[in-house]
Structure 1
Amino acid sequence: MTVETNLTRKTIRINRLKLLGLFSIVFVPMAAATSMYFAGWGVPSGSTNNGELIWPPIHIAELQAIDSQGAPLEQHFSLDEPGARPLKWDLLSADADKDATESKWVLLVTGNQDCSEACQKALYTVRQVNIALGKESERVTRVLASSDDINSLSKVIAPQYPMLALASVNTETLQRFSAGRVANANTDKMNGETIDNWSIWVVDPLGNVILRYEADRHGKEILKDMKRLLKLSNIG
């Protein structure tokens, strides 16, 4: 075996290693990405948001809620539609801002039957979050959507939360809206009465429902998510 032959074989091995390395650079990341996508291998379990991410987002129209004037709630998120108006807590008052041109981010509280202790806690939490947003607080409004009678609900809730918009929703529609997104979404029955979960949702100015929290979630976690959303968003 000559020196020249040894050099030739060594050169071939080096070239093969280079070729293998080139293939590794191109195909290994592709294989890893495919495995992560289809099998979930190596996907981080953590997330940057504290709430439950609704993906793909659902639209507020699925809630089929009706505002205090009897108009569909989603109308306030479709400002390109005839007669559409930005959602504001004071929409029915003489002081309502008729010149507003943008809808707002919404902290939405939903639940069935009377505004229970869980409901009251959720309403208090979203109010404190709204206040804690400081100068950004004007970009956010709050809505309570319940199957309870909106007139009787107003008498109880309005004195405590005067800057809260009210909407009514059908019980069955509310259950469908929450199904698959709320733990134990199927209502339990106790002594013939239906017991439902109360939830807090984040709705963007276009009507997309993107985050959900339990009614007893700490306000600091919701506030952190809202600050991040408002910082990144140029709408609302």
Structure 2
Amino acid sequence: MPEAVPPRRRGRIQLLLILMVVIGPMMLATAMYKFSFWVPEGRSYHGAMIGNGQTSADIGVQGASPQETWQLLVTAPGACEADCQQLVYLARQIHIGLGRDASRASHSLAAADVPADYADKLKQEYPQLKRYGLDRGTYAKATDNLGGARLWIVDPHGNLVLRYDGTAKGKQILNDLRHLLKLSNIG
């Protein structure tokens, strides 16, 4: 007949098992983060995630202040040419596509230079579009000279969340923004 484990020793074993169940996953998660192993490769967003705490002011957007809504921000370091104009149109269409959540978002343009004829068109056809200046030097330095127009999703605190280039598809950006709005308690 096997020997019975003394009650005091059995209690210690139970305590160690309970601690391993509670502390073990935390230790594993910390090790996974610190040593970058078992990190999932899949992602559910289509743009480039900005996870470094940059704000729109950090990339040279002038006059923009944190607001109460999410923002679709189009930036153009040079003149607002065809690619920039396409992204401005796309930002408005995405804003409209939000449907009942449209009040939680806005669209804006930060450009270093807007041609006069396009500025007139913006006033007539895009009355809700907010316009800001863009410091070329700060933008080039903060974005590693990306060049060309970009569309950014900015949270209500002014933090940059996702970035898209001129080839981005509107449906993908709309899905990303809807997902952010669904998860967000702000804006």
Where on the TM-score scale, by shorter chain, does this alignment land: which range? 0.7 to 0.9
1:219 Cα deviation after fit: 1.0
Matched with 2:98 is 133
Amino acid at match of 2:120: K
Amino acid at match of 1:65: V
Would you say 1:29 and 2:25 are equivalent positions? yes
- The whole-number CA distance in structure 1 between the counterparts of 2:115 and 2:85 is 16
Matched with 1:54 is 50
Match of 2:168 among 217, 222, 226: 217
Cα deviation 1:142-172 (Å, max 9, x = unaligned): 1111111575651354344333222111211
Q: How many residues are aligned here?
A: 182
TM-score of the two chains, using structure 2 as the length reference? 0.79
Gaps of 5+ in 1: 67-71, 78-85, 87-102, 180-185, 188-195
- The whole-number CA distance in structure 2 between the counterparts of 1:24 and 1:104 is 44
Match of 2:141 among 176, 179, 182: 176
Q: Is the 8 A contact 1:145 1:167 kept in 2?
A: yes
Q: 1:154 to 1:48 in 2, by over 3 A?
A: same
Match of 2:113 among 148, 167, 171: 148
- The whole-number CA distance in structure 1 between the counterparts of 2:117 and 2:172 is 32
Matched with 2:177 is 226
Cα deviation 1:23-42 (Å, max 9, x = unaligned): 76466534532331111110
Q: Is the 8 A contact 1:63 1:174 kept in 2?
A: yes
Q: Is the 8 A contact 1:121 1:216 kept in 2?
A: no
1:200 Cα deviation after fit: 0.8
SS at match of 1:55: coil
- The whole-number CA distance in structure 2 between the counterparts of 1:123 and 1:63 is 18
Matched with 1:73 is 64
RMSD: 2.9
Higher relative contact order (CA 8 A, sep 6+): 2
- The whole-number CA distance in structure 2 between the counterparts of 1:173 and 1:152 is 27
1:104 Cα deviation after fit: 2.1
Gaps of 5+ in 2: none
- The whole-number CA distance in structure 2 between the counterparts of 1:132 and 1:150 is 28
Q: Is the 8 A contact 1:64 1:173 kept in 2?
A: yes
Matched with 1:104 is 69
TM-score of the two chains, using structure 1 as the length reference? 0.65
